[in-house]
Structure 1
Amino acid sequence: MSQMQVLRARDYPRMPWKNGGGSTEEITRDGGAGLEGFGWRLSIADIAESGGFSSFSGYQRIISVLQGDGMVLQVDGQPSRDLLPFDAFAFSGESQANCRLLGGAIRDFNLIYAPQRYRARLQWFAEPTRLFSAASTLLLFCAQDTLNLRIAGHPQQVMGLYDCVQLSGNAQLFELEVDGRCCVVELSDVSR
């Protein structure tokens, strides 16, 4: 049986960026000490001005804008498309990455993971959705004021803005239903 943990946005610890240019609210991670050593990490960052991103050698990143007008990333000298709210963009953690804000400050959502240890899938949904997953770890992040989550075999959860549910230790296919805007992150251990 999988284990469910409800993570509330009000409880996320704030930590400095690796490059010292700002701070991040860490939602959850799979373990490891310090700013590296983890297999995966999910976080929220506030970006007040255009500038450089921290380097995470050996990791992949998937980033989305949560609030604000958006941004354009320069990744190893190549510009991304305009990244608008709830539009995911993937790049190598060791790339040299800089952002240019399209308006004022933004808030972003980041998945950083070690591809030699995990396969990752990140999807945004805006409408009521039913999904089936066999991922060993599933993270469901709420991006609206209130969201109802139903996972077979677990009590229904009512989530608030930026709350997250972590389902760990999954060994079989399970069903989940949500009723609005959220992000579903599926992580599968490649050693299994």
Structure 2
Amino acid sequence: MTSEAFRILRAAGRAPAPWKNGGGVTREIAAAPGPAGDGFDWRVSLADVTEDGPFSAFPGVDRTLTVVEGAGMDLMVDGEHHIVDEPYWPHDFPGDVATGGRLLAGPVVNLNVMHRRGRVRAEVAVVRGTLRLAAPEGGTVLAVALEDGAAIDGTDTGLGRYDAVSLHGRASCVLRTYGYAALITLSGHGHGHGHGHRPGARTAGDGA
């Protein structure tokens, strides 16, 4: 495997981007830019939500939200209430309809996966145990440690909480988790990069 096909993305290196409504901050884990002027093809991030408020609209984007810390949210999507109070349970919704969140009992941390409808397909699962990771053809797979970290077999590499491993191309590895991990499979265009904004990616102040 090559360094470009297999990457460790450390939580410690992610810069927080504050929302313009002041309701929280986002830390990008990885993203793949779309065609020029068309934003991202997909984006994976962690959001610290500290206040009730609206979510930003993302035309043509589908989203998956997973609460990884806190009591949860009342998620209002296009006028319908969705009580998201079970940790590690992914919830899908369109990113281009009116959406807002009300905290049930204090701040939460959400894992957010966004992908461009019609160009990328995303699958999010929360798993534990021993996993063989391999990217789909033309796509990317990420694993994000949600609890007590993980280790990559055959190496000295360990993952702490919220560290991630990203693979594309022919790269593969065996991951042993010490708790739950989010497994994100992205089929379609773009290999993605680690934390840090690229041209067209969402910048600070764009909200949830």
Q: When the two structures are superposed, what TM-score results if normalisation uses the length of structure 2?
A: 0.78
- Cα offset for 1:54? 0.8
SS state at 1:10 partner: helix
SS state at 2:84 partner: coil
Contact 1:6 1:163 in 2 (8 A): yes
Q: How many residue pairs were aligned?
A: 185
Q: Which amino acid aligns with 1:142?
A: A
Q: Which of 169, 176, 179 is 1:178 aligned to?
A: 176
* Unpaired segments ≥5 residues, structure 2: 191-208
SS state at 2:105 partner: coil
SS state at 2:85 partner: coil
- Cα offset for 1:155? 3.8
Contact 1:18 1:54 in 2 (8 A): no
Q: Which moves more between the two structures, 177-186 or 130-139? A: 130-139
Q: Aligned residue for 2:129?
A: 128
- Cα offset for 1:119? 1.3
The 2-side partners of 1:178 and 1:80 are apart by 33
Q: Which moves more between the two structures, 47-56 or 14-23? A: 14-23
Contact 1:138 1:168 in 2 (8 A): yes
Q: Aligned residue for 1:144?
A: 147
Q: Aligned residue for 2:44?
A: 42
SS state at 1:103 partner: coil
* Unpaired segments ≥5 residues, structure 1: none
- Cα offset for 1:65? 0.8
Q: Which of 64, 70, 91 is 1:62 aligned to?
A: 64
The structure-2 alpha-carbon separation of the partners of 1:36 and 1:190, relative to structure 1 and needing over 3 Å to count, comes to closer
Contact 1:68 1:107 in 2 (8 A): yes
Contact 1:17 1:54 in 2 (8 A): no
SS state at 2:117 partner: coil
Contact 1:116 1:190 in 2 (8 A): no
- Give the % identical residues: 34
Contact 2:70 2:109 in 1 (8 A): yes
- Cα offset for 1:19? 5.7
Q: Aligned residue for 2:73?
A: 71
Q: Aligned residue for 1:15?
A: 17
- Cα offset for 1:122? 0.6
Residue-by-residue CA offset, 1:105-146 (whole Å, 9 max, x unaligned)? 111110011121111111001x31334645220101001232
Contact 1:5 1:166 in 2 (8 A): yes
The 2-side partners of 1:117 and 1:78 are apart by 27
Higher RCO (Cα < 8 Å, 6 or more apart): 2
The 2-side partners of 1:107 and 1:18 are apart by 18
